[in-house]
Structure formats: C-alpha cells, structure tokens
Amino acid sequence: MSAAAPPTAEPTVPETLLLGQIIDFTADPFSTPPQEAARHLSRGAILLRGGKIVEIGPAARMVEAHRTARRVDYGAALLLPGFVDAHAHYPQTGIIASWGKRLIDWLEGYTFPEESRFGDALYAATIAGRYLDLAIANGTTTIASFCTSHPESVTAFFQAAQARGMAVAGGKVAMDRNAPKALRDTPQRAYDESKALLKRWHRQGRARYAITPRFSPTSTPEQLEAMGALWAEHPDCPMQTHLSEQVEEIAWVASLFPDDEDYLATYERFGLIGPGALFGHAIHLKARERARLAESGSAVVHCPTSNTFIGSGVFDAMGLAHQRIPVGLATDTGGGSSFSMLRTMGAAYEISQLNGAVLHPAQLLWLATEGSARAMRMEAEVGTLAPGSAADVIALDLASTPAIAQRAARAQDIWEALFPTMMMGDDRAIKGVWIGGVSRR
C-alpha cells in the first residue's frame, strides 16, 4: 500500500502595499466643515488583498506589519478612491465636442444619428472598449452610462466593463416617440428587452442594470408606466434619466404632459422617483421638485462641462446638498466636453462660483468619489478607501505639468496642493490606476 500523499499547503494570498500620500474621508464635507471631513497621511499605505482594500495607515507601520507584501511606491503622489462618474453616454464617445447646438438640436443633429449605429454589435463593442479605456486613463473606475435602445449596446458595455474588472451601471434606453424610427421601441418592447437584459446582467460580477427611460419627451405615459412597473419589480436596480436640463426642454415637457404639475411629476406619477433614482442635470428645479427629491431620497447628478458646453444653466450644488439631496458628479460624455473627472471638478467649482457659492476642494473630491457612489447606492463597494471596499484606487500626480508643479510647490496644506490639479489637470496627472486590485495603468 502506497503512503498517503502529504497535505497540500494552503496557497498564500498575495498582498500589495500601495505607498504615497492619502486622503481618506471620515464625514460628508457638505455637513461637516470641509477641512475636518477627511484625514491626510503625508506618507501612508493601502493594503490590497483579494481585490479588496484591507487596511490603510501610516506607511512605516504598514510596511513593518506586512513585510512580505509586494510594494508599489508612488512617492509623493496622492492615493485616492477611483473616480465615480454618475452620468455618461458611452455611445456618444465619437461625437464628443461637436460644435454649436442646444439640447434638442444636439440630439437631432449628433446624438440620434450616432446612436442609430449601435444595433451593430461589433461597432458597439469597439466604442464601449474605447470609452472605458479613455475613462480609465483619466482615473475613472466606476461609471453609470446610458446605452442606446439596442440590446446589443448594453451587452457590449457590460462585456467591456467585465473584461476590465470595472463596477458599472448601464441600461437600454427606452424611447417610443420624438426620436428616429431606428431608435424607437414600444412600451412592451422596452419592458421586455430591459427585463431580459436585467436578468442577464444585474449583479453579475460587478455589473448593475439601470432602468433607463431617456427622458419624458421621448417616452409616452404608457412607456413611463412600464418602466415604473419594472423598477417596482426590481427596486435594487438604479433608475437613470434626465430632469430639467434646459428651459426649452421644460417647456416641451409641459406641452406633452399638460396635466402634470412640473417636470418631476411626469416621473413621480409612474413611480420613477425614490432611492436609486439618478436625475441627470436637475438645473431649473421648482421649490416643490426640490422638496420632493429630498423627501424621496432621489439623487441628482451635476454635469458641469455639459451644462456650460450647451448652455444649459447654473446648477445649485451647495443648495441641493444642504437640502440633503444626494448629489453626484459626472462628465456626461459626450454632451460633456471632457472624459476627465478632474476637469469636471474644475468646471463644478467655476459654476458654483457663478452661483455665489465657493466649493472647497474637499467637497469637489467627495462629489467625484463617495458622493457619486452614494448617489448610485454603491458606496459599500466603490468611492471610498474603507476596508472591505473594492481595491479601486488611483495615484494622482500633484505636479504633472510645469504649470501645476510651480503652483503646488507654494501650497501650505494638502488641499492647496490638490486644487491646481483639479483646475488644470488631465490624464497626465493619473500616475496609477488599480481596479479590483489589478494595475490597469
């Protein structure tokens, strides 16, 4: 009789220590003095294991406690959660920065012709991969994106995100009127195709399915009712749409829904309001709409480069946050004119200045990370450096260009050092990107 084989040793779990400066939020900087809402480690470390953040702390202690961990030292770069973009249109990647249109003209002249191409699965896959690679290059690791009315566009988006290990939300756009025939569906088809895609993708790996009526002008009451019914059946899904972006749009909604009190009421009537609702733009809100958003736990998403690019208006970030309305931040690619959340933070600062409120760098950073994650109800997984969160971490070079470096050199604290990168930084500032504990840049 042969001797029994010796027991196999348990495989060791590889650990990685990321070294650099760290900013870690401990409170909401809109409800706590911004300077007190985060801690700064001038020399810190983040321990990654099994795709998760295990621990953060001072570098000396962490190195001593984890001597066998692989070390990746980013020097004076700032380690942060990966950016969270709470409202984008990946199919509009190819038409970003298209000249000279208001919202409705822009949809008819650029958006709808481009989106009509996404019934081609190969084309959809090409653009989805291109978009996500551009997002990663700019330090964005989580995105909520509209797809198109073609199921192929949804599959392409989730497959591309899955290949890159990303946590994303996305969904088929429902439109049954005021759009080209090639993009229109019906209430029943929108329900059936959305439900089939939801069953296939929602919570498969890191994916979230988002129920996605484009906006009230392109959906009949019957289709909005169908989308509300689907969300009621699957309330853990996000629901994304648009609200009060431009004054012409609001007038159009009033003409299409004459019996509803305001724009928000066109969604409210069909159950499309509440926790998990992501209302992009939300610029020209009435007092009743603001009150109902706060009462219902719905979130609004600030898209500053888009709002300036097509002349939509001035978003009240400070006021809405102080009303306890969850606020996220977004590029709104391709109505937005940049793939960079750094540029988006800079634009948010500028718009708030026009509105008579000064956003602190801590508030801007929080909106681009934990604030957007909370709006998407994903803060347990992304947007923070809390132990147990996914190891989605970026390293931000605070001296990425000569202009930024000379200003940062004068800084008296970390916020003064970070702010020039928010205002003038781009993809050159992204020194490292980790998604699920895997280096992607």
Quote the CA–CA distance of 240 and 5 in Å, as a whole number.
57
Structure tokens at 248: 């012409």
CATH of the domain spanning 15-81+384-439? 2.30.40.10
Quote the CA–CA distance of 407 and 404 in Å, as a whole number.
5
Scan for tokens 């795709």, then name that residue: 51
Strands in 393-396's sheet, in edge-to-edge order, are: 52-58, 38-49, 15-25, 70-81, 393-396, 430-435, 438-439
78: number of Cβ within 10 Å = 23
Q: How far is CA 55 from the centre of its chain?
A: 25
Sequential pLDDT tens for the chain (441 residues)? 344 444 444 445 589 999 999 999 999 999 999 999 999 999 999 999 999 999 999 999 999 999 999 999 999 999 999 999 999 999 999 999 888 777 778 788 889 999 999 999 999 999 999 999 999 999 999 999 999 999 999 999 999 999 999 999 999 999 999 999 999 999 999 999 999 999 999 999 999 999 999 999 999 999 999 999 999 999 999 999 999 999 999 999 999 999 999 999 999 999 999 999 999 999 999 999 999 999 999 999 999 999 999 899 999 999 999 999 999 999 999 888 999 999 999 999 999 999 999 999 999 999 999 999 999 999 999 999 999 999 999 999 999 999 999 999 999 999 999 999 999 999 999 999 999 999 999
What's the whole-model pTM score? 0.95
Quote the CA–CA distance of 341 and 83 in Å, as a whole number.
7
Find all residues with CB under 8 Å of 402, minimum gap 6, and list them: none
Best CATH choice for the domain 83-375 from the list 3.30.950.10, 3.90.650.10, 3.20.20.140, 3.90.190.20: 3.20.20.140
Quote the CA–CA distance of 171 and 175 in Å, as a whole number.
12
Radius of gyration of the chain (CA): 22
CB 295 within 8 A of CB 275: no
Quote the CA–CA distance of 345 and 312 in Å, as a whole number.
17
H-helix or E-strand containing 157?
Answer: helix 151-163
DSSP 203-271: TSTTEEE-BEE--GGGS-HHHHHHHHHHHHH-TTS-EEEEES--HHHHHHHHHH-TTSSSHHHHHHTTT
The domain spans of the chain are: 15-81+384-439, 83-375
CB 127 within 8 A of CB 157: no
**Local structure of 365: helix, strand or coil:** helix
